[in-house]
Every structure is written in C-alpha cells, then in structure tokens.
C-alpha cells in the first residue's frame, strides 16, 4: 500500500506528539499555512519586533531577579552588585533597561502603522482592542518596574504618580494609600511593585499577546491597500493575493530582526543611558526621602501623557468646560432621538462636576482619556476606505498634525514647566482630542480614491 503524505506526517516521534498535542496543525494554522497579504512593507516589521523584545525582557528579567533584592535597604546596592560583581551582569541590566525603551519604540510604530492603514477597522476591532490593552499593560509594567532600582528618580517619580490618585474625589486618598501600602513610598511599596512587575502584569501581558495573535490569525492580516484578501480565493480556498507566512515573511522578518538587533546592540554597548532618556542621572543616586530632585519627570515614553497632565491648569479647565458646553449645544441642535436631550444634560452635569473639583483631578482624567480614546478608534473612524493611501489630502494632513502634536507633547514632558511650554502643551492636547472627537465628521468628508480590486504588489 502506498504511503500518503498524511501517514508520513503522523509517523515517528512527531506523529506520537501529534496524536497527543496539536503541534503540526498549530504550526500549519499559524505559520506555514497562514496566508498573509503579499504586499507587506517596512511598517509590518514592528509586530514581530515587539514579540522579540518581549522575549528579551522576560529572559533578562529572569536573570536580574536572581540577584535583585526587593528590600528598601538593599535594592539599590543589589543593582550596583549586578552591575559590578555579577559576571556579565552589566550587560543583562543594560539589555533590560534598553529593551524597556525599545519595546515602546516598536509598539508606538506598530500602532502608528495600524492608524495609517486602518488596521482597527472591521473585522479587526477585537485585534485592535487587544493591542490597546497590551499597550496599557506595558505602561503598568514599565511604571512598576521603574521603582525597582530604588534611585532618586525611581522613588520620587513613583511618589508623584501614586499621589495623583489622591485627587480622585471621595476614594482618592484611600486608593493612593492602598497602592502604596503605606503613607509614603516605602519598603512595602517596593515589595508590591516587585510582585506586580515580575508576576502579575507579565502573566496578563502574555495572555493578551496570545489573544492578540489568535484574533489576528482568525480574521487575517490587514495590508497597505486595506483590501480583504480572503474575499478572493482559488478553488483550494487559498487567497489569490496571499502567500504563506513561512518561509516568505519569516525570512522577511529575519532581515528586520537583524537590523533591529544591530541598532539595539549599538545602544547597549555605546549609549545605554541615551543622553538621560533611557536611564536618568538621578537614578544612579540612592533614593533619599529627605531630598527632592530639582526636576521630577517620567521616562520618555510617558512624557506625552505627562505633558497633558501638567498642562491641565485652572484656565485650561475652563477652556474644557466651554468646549463641553459647545458640544452639548451642538448635540441639542443636531441630535436625533434620545441623544438630542440626553447628551446636553450629560454635558451640563460634567460642567457642574468640573466646577466643583480641582484641576489636578481633571489632569488625571485628561491623561487617562488620552489613552482610553485609542480603544474607540474602530467606531470613530467612518471613512469608506481603510488605508490612508486612498484618502483625501486633508486627511493625511490631519494625521500628520496629530502625530506632530503628540511628538511635541512628548518633548515638552521632558522639559521643566514654563508659561510658553504650558500654553503649547495645552494647544497640542486640544489637537490630540480634536482628532478623535472630530473623526466621525471629518473621516466621511472629501473625495476618496477607489481602492483596487486586488492588492498592489511590487517585488523588491
């Protein structure tokens, strides 16, 4: 009897595994027979790079934990011990600290690609939501890990951020006390932050990454043209414009990994502090509860949101109240059904609440809303096309202004506060939120180009 391909595949040791665990079928479903669009470009490197950096962070974190002491009297000394006494400890520490910043670099670029090509649009809403949840987890992971070196900036940065929660009406003081575990940042805070950074958040993060990938492979990858390749298949059910992820994109991504690792290694070996943006000078000084640094600022990947927080002053709160009032009037004039009166009433209640609460609380709200707004992109963008390639010119200008405002906020967050800087940050914050609030209106306007029936591909 002739031996079929299936018999060959399920024979031997691999067959023994396949009869007990779906190894081969999983490999086929998610790698060798997962068909991706054939027109991926440079922007599609960053998803794989994010997965690579996650692995780097987990592996280096395990080795750091072997020698780190989560104790307020020993934490800083243990980091110095890792740097000076542990064989190759300095390399592991710099790989981890550089990896933290590079993680946000690739994630920000990955999200920007999704923004450009409409990767959050139907049917990928859940993929985008999982991705935004991963971004939130990364922010929490970075925040909890930032305290662990127990340097001056770690200590006082954690003190400032935790104190922000005290601005929440009614529950704020108790909430901030619960987060710290003490009335000030202390050994108790260090221990619980260590537990969150090493165990709790990584478990959630890994689960979200798996869910993100499973959801992506269920609906298929987007592409620069925004065309669904599953809509056109051959008689075998294979997308006409798709190619197997392996070996084509595994080799494609390997090239991106090589370039990334070259840049990553150059930073680790020649500029691990990156001029104070990756590792601040104050964090090489032991934490001192009696001496406040001249300037307390978060790491660069938080500075855009920190600038929004700092820009929310009493005059800016009045501006926000006026904008909410105008939105309520607009809803009253142009709304339909129950929304016509419901939204103005809601706007009035928000304005009254804002008048009764301090601007510090609304700074926290603005900062949190800036992140949460990303979750609603699939329903805010109502453009008839997905990709920016086929949108009107003014859409591209809006995207450019949005990115520029975000970068300016990130820069201002690294600088000491000043009247001019605060004003610019307030303008950029308004631009940031106007981008999202205006999406249901401006994304439907203009003359759109007709996307092609098949994906456009030019071989390199």
Radius of gyration of the chain (CA): 25
Q: Is 197 known to sit in a ligand binding site? A: yes
Distant-in-sequence, close-in-space partners of 44: CB < 8 Å, separation ≥ 6: 113, 221
Distant-in-sequence, close-in-space partners of 307: CB < 8 Å, separation ≥ 6: 409, 410, 412, 413, 425, 428, 429
Place of tokens 């537990």: 195
Evaluate whether 184 touches 207 at the Cβ level (below 8 Å).
no
What is the signed CA dihedral for 291, 293, 294, 296, rounded to 10 degrees? -140
Q: Which two tokens stand for residue 108?
A: 């920000």
Q: Is 217 known to sit in a ligand binding site? A: yes
Instruction: Report how far apart the first and last C-alpha atoms of the chain are (Å, whole number).
Output: 46
Closest residue by Cα to residue 160 from 426, 363, 353, 418: 363
DSSP structure class, residue 415: S
In whole angstroms, give the CA distance from residue 458 to residue 155: 52
In whole angstroms, give the CA distance from residue 358 to residue 353: 10
Per-residue exposure over 346-385, b if at least 16 CB sit within 10 Å of its own CB, e if not: ebeebbeebeeeebbbbbbbbbeebeebbbebbebbebeb
Q: Is 212 known to sit in a ligand binding site? A: yes
In whole angstroms, give the CA distance from residue 99 to residue 149: 16
Place of tokens 């890990």: 145
Half-sphere exposure of 395 (CA within 13 A, CB side): 27
Q: Which two tokens stand for residue 24?
A: 């081969």
**Bind-site residues:** 96, 110, 197, 212, 217
**Bind-site residues for heme b:** 96, 110, 197, 212
**Bind-site residues for a ubiquinone:** 217
């Amino acid at each position: 009897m002739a031996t079929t391909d299936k018999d060959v595949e399920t024979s031997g040791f691999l067959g023994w595994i396949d009869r007990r665990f779906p190894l081969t079928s999983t490999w086929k479903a998610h790698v060798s027979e997962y068909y991706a669009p054939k027109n991926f470009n440079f922007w599609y490197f960053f998803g794989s790079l994010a997965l690579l950096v996650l692995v780097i962070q987990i592996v280096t974190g395990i080795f750091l934990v072997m020698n780190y002491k989560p104790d307020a009297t020993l934490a800083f000394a243990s980091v110095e011990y890792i740097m000076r006494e542990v064989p190759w400890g300095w390399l592991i520490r710099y790989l981890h600290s550089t990896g933290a910043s590079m993680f946000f670099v690739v994630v920000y670029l990955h999200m920007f690609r999704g923004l450009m090509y409409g990767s959050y649009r139907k049917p990928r809403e859940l993929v985008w939501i999982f991705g935004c949840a991963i971004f939130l987890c990364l922010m929490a992971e970075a925040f909890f890990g930032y305290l662990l070196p127990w340097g001056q900036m770690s200590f006082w940065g954690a003190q400032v951020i935790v104190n922000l929660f005290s601005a929440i009406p009614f529950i704020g003081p108790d909430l901030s006390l619960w987060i710290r575990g003490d009335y000030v940042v202390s050994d108790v805070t260090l221990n619980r932050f260590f537990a969150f950074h090493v165990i709790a958040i990584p478990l959630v993060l890994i689960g979200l990454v798996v869910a993100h990938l499973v959801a992506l492979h269920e609906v298929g990858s987007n592409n620069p043209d925004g065309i669904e390749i599953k809509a056109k298949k051959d008689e075998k059910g294979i997308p006409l414009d798709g190619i197997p992820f392996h070996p084509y994109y595994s080799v494609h991504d390997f090239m991106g990994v090589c370039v990334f690792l070259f840049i990553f290694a150059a930073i680790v070996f020649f500029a691990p502090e990156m001029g104070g943006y990756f590792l601040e000078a104050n964090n090489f000084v032991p934490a001192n509860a009696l001496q406040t640094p001249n300037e307390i600022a978060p790491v660069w990947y938080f500075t855009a949101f920190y600038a929004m927080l700092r820009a929310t002053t009493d005059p800016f709160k009045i501006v926000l109240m006026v904008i909410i009032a105008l939105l309520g009037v607009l809803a009253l004039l142009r709304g339909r059904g129950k929304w016509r009166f419901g939204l103005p009433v809601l706007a009035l209640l928000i304005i009254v609440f804002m008048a009764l609460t301090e601007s510090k609380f609304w700074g926290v709200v603005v900062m949190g809303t800036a992140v949460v707004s990303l979750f609603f992109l699939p329903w805010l963008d109502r453009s008839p096309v997905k990709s920016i390639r086929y949108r009107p010119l003014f859409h591209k200008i809006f995207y450019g202004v949005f990115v520029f405002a975000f970068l300016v906020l990130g820069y201002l967050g690294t600088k000491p506060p000043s009247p001019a800087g605060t004003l610019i940050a307030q303008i950029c914050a308004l631009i940031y939120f106007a981008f999202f609030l205006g999406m249901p209106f401006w994304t439907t306007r203009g003359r759109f180009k007709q996307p092609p029936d098949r994906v456009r591909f030019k071989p390199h």
